[in-house]
């Protein structure tokens, strides 16, 4: 660049108003002038800085290298500026030479501005994506990354590690007796206690609800036992007081030791969860320690038993359909019927059970697509057999689809055939796909949704918000409903964070023209909360508990 001193003074004045500092040196790097904003950041007044070496006035260090000075002449996009008084600022800077009329360098100009607030905001966003907002511990996704790192260390350096799952035994009692504010406080206290017991090289996380996870890095079985025993003892003797009530907390703990690295992260997490389940089954307030191989065999055996039980139930007709109403909140739809179909199966004890337990087993053995087809066919058969006046009232019937069904290219033809056979208009049928399944199978989900939407079927993203996926993908999926994850809705009256999340999802729906449904509305306070926010529909036991599909249709 070229220019005289007056030009630079005018430039310095303008840039100072924009939060940019300027320092000019002669061709030898001796300071000639310092703009007012540069004075503020460096701590050097121009009269004191003049004639000093630029490295003394504009002292930079590399990120993470406090003692490494960086010449202002080196090209760096960002660095840390150490001011005269020791304060540190993250700055972005650039250096440009000034040429005289003969083309020779007569001076150098350094322009810089403070980017500390932006970098702090970036760090906060990064932390929010990896940490639980309530306890400050790692979240489930970040914890899985720590397990993966431990697996790599095991495979490359033969460093055994342990994975521990900790499930509080009295959390629900505290929540139900004293409210969610008490429950949140209890979780924060437990998180602080676990931090004290964990070592620096361990990874601690809140996996959800009252469940915590701990990766014990580079540890032998005896040391792992000692750490887990210490945690167990602390929790056994920990008493939580809220108002005039005192609770003994306690915990069920499962520990899985890893001494060979052939397993996957999912295998290890599942094994730790199962070990914790065995600790609960032992009477709670127990520790169950095992090797991964033992847990894998046990889980697989239980899954195989469930699959055999499921097949037997389908063969013998011990499977039935329930339905749960979905209530409109922002418009009056009279006596029209809008509901979600739910699968119920006879358990080992002869009682009807929800599908939650056996879905994992059927997914592991690749049977969910067959279950989905049975539900679709049976639902349409029940609708076909209804009187005309019932079908006239039918607004929308929602059916769940698993991730496995999205990969079944023949399912599209199956749905079309079943609709034609039952003579049910396609616009009365809505398919629900979980957020996780939609994102994991994005291209397939987009194709499948597009094909069925073309003939009139409707679509909903279920459990929205639980997968922490970007909102951006919604622009490319032609869905009609967003079903807000029940974990947020249940606590909407007592948790500002959950309320903000529901508001955010509802606003996204409004912007994209997608109706919103609040799941798991289980209290009047939750219902009033979603009403106030402007959610379009509500579903949950407070609105209407599940009951047999035929009964709901007949109004009995």
C-alpha span between 47 and 39 (Å, rounded): 10
Given 269, 300, 331, which residue is the final one in a domain? Answer: 300
Lowest mean pLDDT among 141-145, 263-267, 523-527: 263-267
d(CA 368, CA 435) in angstroms, rounded, equals 17
Residues 99, 152 within the same domain: no
> What confidence category does residue 211 fall into, taking pLDDT thresholds of 50, 70 and 90?
very high
Instruction: Identify whether residues 423 and 549 lie together within a single domain.
Output: yes
How many domains is the chain built from? Answer: 3
* Domain end marker among 90, 121, 152: 121
106 and 153 fall within a common domain: no
Tokens of 222: 């005896």
**String of b and e for 339-369 (b: at least 16 CB within 10 Å)?**
bbbbbbbbbeeeeeeebeebbebbbbeebbb
Q: Is residue 312 part of a domain?
A: no
> What's the domain range around 420?
323-554
Residue 309 lies in a domain: no
**Structure confidence at residue 300 as a pLDDT band (50, 70, 90):** low
Q: Which of 67-71, 244-248, 396-400, 457-461 has the lowest mean pLDDT?
A: 67-71
Q: How many CB atoms are located within 10 Å of the residue 141 CB?
A: 12
Mean pLDDT of 224-231: 94
CATH number for the domain including 86? Answer: 3.30.450.20
Q: Confirm whether 316 is domain-assigned.
A: no
Higher pLDDT, 193 or 101: 193
What's the confidence (pLDDT) of residue 358? 60
Q: Is the pLDDT of residue 524 over 70?
A: yes
Q: CATH number of the domain that 446 lies in?
A: 3.20.20.450
Query: 136 and 117 in one domain?
Result: no
Longest pairwise C-alpha distance within the chain: 98
For 133-174, write each residue's pLDDT tens digit: 899 999 988 999 999 999 999 988 888 999 999 999 888 888
Q: What is the pLDDT of residue 122?
A: 63
Using alpha carbons, list the distances in angstroms from residue 471 to 132, 404, 464, 506.
Answer: 19, 23, 10, 12
pLDDT at 465: 78
145 falls within a domain? yes
What element of type H or E holds 276? helix 265-281
Look over the chain and give the mean of its residue pLDDT values, rounded to a whole number. 84
CATH number of 166's domain: 3.30.70.270
- In this prediction, residue 365 has a pLDDT band, given cuts at 50, 70 and 90, of low
Beta-carbon contacts of 217 under 8 Å, excluding residues fewer than 6 positions away, are: 150, 153, 159, 161, 199, 201, 202, 203
Question: Are 479 and 528 members of one domain?
Answer: yes
| Same domain for 197 and 112 | no
DSSP letters spanning 127-165: HHHHB-TTT-SB-HHHHHHHHHHHHHHHHHH---EEEEE
Shared-domain flag, residues 251 and 343: no
CA distances from 446 to 187, 406, 424, 476, 516 (A): 39, 10, 24, 7, 20
35-49, 103-117, 132-146: least confident range: 103-117
d(CA 336, CA 331): 12
Residue 556: the pLDDT is 64
Q: How far apart are CA 516 and CA 110, in angstroms?
A: 53
Of 112-121, 189-198, 223-232, 266-275, the least confident? 112-121
Maximum mean pLDDT: which of 39-48, 291-300, 317-326: 39-48
Of 469, 471, 412, the residue nearest 437 (C-alpha): 469
Q: Are residues 217 and 327 in the same domain?
A: no
Q: Answer yes or no: is pLDDT of 67 > 50.
A: no
User: What's the pLDDT band for 105 if we cut at 50, 70, 90?
Assistant: confident
Mean pLDDT of the region 317-346: 86
- Of the candidates 289, 296, 295, 299, which has an alpha carbon nearest to the alpha carbon of residue 164? 289
Which of 73, 93, 121 marks a domain boundary? 121
- Token pair of 507 as six digits: 């606003």
Cβ atoms of 351 and 320 closer than 8 Å: no
Token digits for 25?
Answer: 């040196």
Average pLDDT over residues 250-264: 86
Considering the domain architecture, whether residues 114 and 145 belong to the same structural domain is answered as no
Q: Does 325 or 303 have the greater pLDDT score? A: 325
Cβ atoms within 10 Å of 137's Cβ, excluding its own: 25
**Per-residue confidence band for 309, with pLDDT thresholds at 50, 70 and 90:** low
Q: What is the mean pLDDT of residues 223-239?
A: 93
Q: 386: burial class by Cβ within 10 Å (0-12, 13-18, 19+)? A: middle
Does 361 or 322 have the greater pLDDT score?
322
Residue 136 lies in a domain: yes
> Which residue would you say has higher pLDDT here, 547 or 313?
547
Residue 51 burial (10 A CB sphere; 0-12, 13-18, 19+): exposed
Integer CA distances (angstroms), 459 to 149, 181, 199, 270, 434, in order = 38, 36, 47, 31, 11
In a domain, 315, yes or no: no
pLDDT in the model for residue 349: 56
In a domain, 159, yes or no: yes
In-domain check, residue 102: yes
Q: Are residues 97 and 176 in the same domain?
A: no
Lowest mean pLDDT among 29-33, 84-88, 525-529: 84-88
pLDDT at 466 over 50: yes
Average pLDDT over residues 292-311: 62
Residues 279 and 221 in one domain: yes
Task: Judge whether 345 and 547 are in contact, CB under 8 Å.
Answer: no
The pLDDT value recorded for residue 130 is 85
Q: Are residues 39 and 183 in the same domain?
A: no
Report yes or no: 49 and 42 within 8 Å, Cβ to Cβ: yes
pLDDT at 74 over 50: no
Q: What is the pLDDT of residue 352?
A: 58
């Amino acid at each position: 660049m070229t220019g005289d001193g007056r030009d630079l003074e005018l430039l310095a004045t303008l840039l100072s108003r924009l939060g940019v500092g300027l320092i000019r040196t002669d061709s030898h790097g001796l300071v000639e002038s310092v703009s007012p904003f540069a004075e503020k950041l460096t701590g050097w007044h121009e009269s004191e800085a003049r004639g000093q070496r630029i490295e003394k006035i504009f002292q930079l260090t590399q990120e993470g290298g406090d003692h490494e000075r960086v010449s202002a002449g080196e090209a760096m996009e960002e660095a840390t500026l150490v001011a005269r008084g020791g304060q540190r600022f993250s700055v972005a800077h650039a250096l440009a030479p000034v040429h005289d009329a003969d083309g020779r360098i007569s001076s150098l100009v350094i322009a810089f501005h403070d980017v500390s607030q932006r970098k702090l905001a970036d760090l906060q966003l990064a932390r929010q994506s990896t940490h639980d907002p309530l306890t400050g511990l790692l979240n489930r996704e970040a914890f899985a990354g720590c397990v993966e790192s431990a697996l790599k260390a095991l495979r490359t350096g033969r460093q055994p590690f342990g994975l521990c799952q900790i499930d509080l035994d009295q959390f629900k009692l505290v929540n139900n007796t004293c409210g969610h504010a008490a429950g949140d406080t209890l979780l924060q206290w437990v998180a602080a206690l676990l931090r004290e017991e964990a070592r620096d090289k361990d990874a601690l996380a809140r996996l959800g609800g009252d469940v915590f996870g701990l990766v014990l890095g580079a540890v032998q079985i005896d040391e792992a036992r000692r750490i887990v025993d210490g945690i167990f003892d602390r929790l056994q003797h920990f008493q939580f007081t809220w108002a005039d009530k005192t609770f003994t907390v306690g915990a069920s703990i499962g520990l899985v030791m890893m001494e060979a690295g052939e397993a996957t992260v999912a295998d290890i997490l599942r094994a730790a969860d199962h070990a914790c389940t065995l600790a609960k089954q032992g009477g709670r307030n127990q520790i169950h320690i095992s090797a991964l191989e033992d847990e894998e065999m046990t889980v697989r055996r239980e899954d195989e038993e469930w699959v055999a039980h499921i097949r037997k139930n389908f063969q013998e007709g011990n499977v039935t359909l329930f339905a749960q109403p979905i209530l409109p909140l922002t418009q009056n739809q009279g006596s029209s019927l809008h509901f979600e179909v739910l699968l119920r199966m006879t358990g080992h004890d002869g009682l009807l059970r929800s599908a939650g337990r056996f879905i994992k087993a059927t997914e592991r053995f690749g049977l969910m697509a067959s279950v989905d087809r049975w539900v679709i066919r049976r639902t349409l058969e029940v609708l076909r057999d209804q009187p005309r006046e019932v079908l006239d009232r039918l607004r929308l019937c929602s059916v769940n689809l698993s991730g496995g069904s999205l990969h079944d290219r023949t399912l599209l033809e199956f749905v079309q055939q079943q609709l034609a056979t039952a003579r049910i208009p396609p616009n009365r049928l809505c398919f629900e796909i979980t957020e996780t399944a939609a994102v994991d199978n994005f291209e397939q989900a987009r194709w499948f949704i597009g094909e069925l939407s073309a003939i009139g079927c409707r679509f909903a993203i279920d459990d929205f918000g639980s997968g922490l996926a970007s909102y951006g993908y919604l622009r490319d999926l032609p869905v009609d409903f967003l079903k807000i994850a029940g974990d947020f809705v249940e606590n909407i009256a007592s948790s500002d964070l959950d309320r903000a999340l529901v508001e955010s999802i509802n606003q996204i729906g409004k912007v994209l023209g997608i109706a919103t449904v609040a799941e798991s509305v289980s209290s009047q306070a939750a219902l009033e909360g979603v009403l106030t926010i402007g959610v379009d529909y509500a579903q949950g036991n407070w609105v209407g508990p599940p009951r047999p599909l035929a009964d709901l249709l007949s109004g009995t």
